[in-house]
Amino acid sequence: MKFVLIGCPGAGKGTQAKKLSKHYDIAHISTGDLLRDQIARKTELGVEISKIMEEGGLVSDEIVARMLKGRIQEADCKNGYILDGYPRNVPQAQGLEDIVGKLDKVICIDVEDSKIIDRMTGRRGCPKCGSMYHVRYNPPKIEGVCDNCGEKLIQRKDDNEETVKNRLDVYHKTTAPVIDFYKEKGLLATIVGSGEIEDIFSDIVKALEE
């Protein structure tokens, strides 16, 4: 099984990808992780990528495609894979079939912007032990203090309303054409992503097995 997972930042894509990868025994391929991995292992491509990033450039579609081609040859992809974070634009979507063949489905996890803003701006983390909280949905016993280690909780800089709104705007602008592209191909299944993790998971499984 091969499918693409689309969803805005904060939609719970990572959580679902992890569960789906286990459920179907398929690989979870995140292009962001792939880039970081190439850089960390200092491969030939990794060196090329770090240079581009240091110069403030964008990693080209061609490089990402090359990386993806290599990744899907690996053993854990024999039953298939989930593509997460790719394709990001229509040219990438058009080129994808040449790399992976025919996709089984494109799953879009859809969550209203207001819910995403609520989720992300309420997040608080512990800088010492890494525990995560939410001011409303998962508050610590004492406001602003980590249950686990007593450290003062902090809000990540990126989790302020303005930054989250900007990221959502960029997401909608770039992803809407990709969604339309797959809708026209009859591959798109849109899943409401605002409920419980388990319910969203079973909705995705249902859509994949339709």
- Minimum CB–partner distance for residue 125 and Zn ion (Å): 9
Of 36, 42, 78, 156, catalytic: 156
- The sheet that has 2-7: what strands, in order across it? 27-30, 81-84, 2-7, 105-110, 188-192
- Minimum CB–partner distance for residue 144 and Zn ion (Å): 12
- Minimum CB–partner distance for residue 138 and Zn ion (Å): 14
By rule CB under 5 A, what string of x and - marks binding of each residue 118-137 to Zn ion?
--------x-xx-x------
136 is a catalytic site residue: no
C-alpha 130/C-alpha 1 separation (Å) is: 34
- Pairing label, strands 81-84, 105-110: unpaired
- Minimum CB–partner distance for residue 163 and Zn ion (Å): 24
Q: What are phi and psi of 83, to 5 degrees?
A: -95, 125
124 is a catalytic site residue: no
Applying the rule CB under 5 A, the residues between 150 and 179 that interact with Zn ion are: 151
C-alpha 26/C-alpha 100 separation (Å) is: 14
156 is a catalytic site residue: yes
167 is a catalytic site residue: yes
123 is a catalytic site residue: yes
Residue from 8, 146, 191, 200 in contact with Zn ion (CB under 5 A): 146
Q: What residues contact 153, with CB distance under 8 A and at least 6 apart?
A: 124, 125, 126, 133, 140, 144, 145, 146
Active site residues: 13, 88, 123, 156, 167
Residues that bind Zn ion (CB under 5 A): 126, 128-129, 131, 146, 148-149, 151
